[in-house]
């Protein structure tokens, strides 16, 4: 496994990779969700590249950039046995050289849900992912369904900017009690960890209602809100039942749809979603 930081090293290492290249972009502090992306990339591509970069531009001014968990040594130990060919761990100065002023921005799709809560977030995500795509030139790129809006926004960017890259979105990996895996779960201690399962329980209740024939989106949103309201540690930021592609809130669920939510558990902000087919 080659581990590089500078752009020159990356370009030299990339030239050595023949065949199809799969990229798994990450911000490190890897968990089983990331590893499932790496395993699928390993199965589907000749070569696998993992990027590890805590991207400062996708964090808001009052978000947890300085506290975001980092442990490169641990990350490398986790991915080494999976057959990763190349790891790129650039510094912020490499990604954003002094005087930086170029941004990639997807418009309408970034306005609701996470975008409404975190106004600059997706501009940071699309900019860094476009830079990763330019530098690594992968054939396929792997993302998790847990960040459903991120996947939709990057898919739009790939189409709009004609990146010759296939996007692969992999199912959310969950703990035994349903909690979606996330690097931020590290912040959940004691009773907050138990309370955090409320997102899964709320989504499951709405999914059961849908399976039982409920198509009124407002009733599905009310079902999720009802479960969240019964958990004193949960403060919902949004609860949504939206069209899967446009992310616009629905009145009636007809085609593929997305149930999603962001909830504060104590001071930890969690997101989760289910897709209704």
Binding residues for ligand PAF, rule: CB under 6 A, are 25-27, 55, 58, 125, 128-129, 147, 150
Please, which residue, 223 or 273, has the CB nearer to ligand PAF? 273
For the bound state, the minimum distance from the C-beta of residue 166 to ligand PAF, rounded and expressed in Å, comes to 16
For the bound state, the minimum distance from the C-beta of residue 277 to ligand PAF, rounded and expressed in Å, comes to 24
For the chain, state the CA radius of gyration.
19
For the bound state, the minimum distance from the C-beta of residue 218 to ligand PAF, rounded and expressed in Å, comes to 30
Strand order in the sheet with 47-52: 2-4, 86-88, 47-52, 21-26, 140-144, 166-170
Q: Report the relative pairing of strands 21-26 and 47-52 from DSSP bridges.
A: parallel
For the bound state, the minimum distance from the C-beta of residue 57 to ligand PAF, rounded and expressed in Å, comes to 9
Q: Supply angle C-alpha 156, 157, 159, rounded to 5.
A: 65
The active-site residue out of 31, 34, 111, 121 is 34
From the centroid of its chain, how far is CA 36?
13
Please, which residue, 171 or 255, has the CB nearer to ligand PAF? 171
CB–CB of 55/125 below 8 Å? yes
Put residue 9 in one of left, alpha, beta given phi > 0 → left and psi -120 to 50 → alpha: alpha
Please, which residue, 33 or 112, has the CB nearer to ligand PAF? 33
Rounded Cα distance, 115 and 111, in Å? 5
Phi, psi at residue 88, to the nearest 5°?
A: -110, 120
The token pair that represents 154 in the structure block:
């990057």
34 is catalytic: yes
Q: CA distances (Å), 247 to each of 39, 46, 149, in order?
A: 29, 34, 8
Rounded Cα distance, 190 and 98, in Å? 43
For the bound state, the minimum distance from the C-beta of residue 128 to ligand PAF, rounded and expressed in Å, comes to 5
For the bound state, the minimum distance from the C-beta of residue 150 to ligand PAF, rounded and expressed in Å, comes to 6
DSSP conformation class of 245: T
Please, which residue, 70 or 226, has the CB nearer to ligand PAF? 70
- Residues with a catalytic annotation lie at 34
């Amino acid at each position: 496994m080659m581990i590089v930081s500078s752009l020159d090293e990356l370009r030299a290492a990339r030239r050595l990779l023949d065949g199809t290249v799969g990229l798994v972009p990450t911000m490190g502090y890897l968990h089983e969700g990331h590893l499932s992306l790496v395993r699928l990339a390993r199965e589907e591509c000749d070569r696998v590249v993992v990027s590890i970069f805590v991207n400062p531009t996708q964090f808001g001014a009052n978000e947890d950039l300085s506290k975001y968990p980092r442990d490169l040594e641990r990350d490398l130990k986790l991915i080494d046995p999976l057959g990763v060919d190349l790891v790129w761990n650039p510094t912020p100065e490499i990604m954003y050289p002094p005087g930086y002023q170029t941004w990639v921005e997807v418009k309408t799709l970034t306005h609701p849900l996470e975008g409404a809560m975190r106004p600059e977030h997706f501009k940071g995500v699309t900019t860094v992912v476009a830079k990763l795509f330019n530098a690594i030139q992968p054939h396929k790129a792997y993302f998790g369904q847990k960040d459903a809006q991120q996947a939709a926004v990057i898919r739009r960017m790939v189409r709009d900017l004609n990146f010759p890259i296939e996007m692969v979105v992999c199912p959310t990996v969950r703990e035994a009690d349903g909690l979606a895996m996330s690097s931020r779960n590290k912040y959940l201690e004691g009773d907050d960890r138990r309370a955090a399962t409320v997102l899964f329980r709320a989504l499951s209740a709405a999914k059961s209602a849908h399976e039982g024939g409920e198509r009124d989106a407002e009733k599905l949103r009310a079902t999720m809100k009802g479960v969240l309201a019964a958990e004193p540690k949960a403060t919902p930021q949004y609860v949504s039942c939206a069209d899967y592609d446009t992310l616009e809130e629905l009145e009636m669920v007809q085609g593929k749809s997305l149930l999603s939510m962001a909830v504060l558990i104590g001071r930890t902000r969690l997101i989760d979603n289910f897709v209704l087919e």
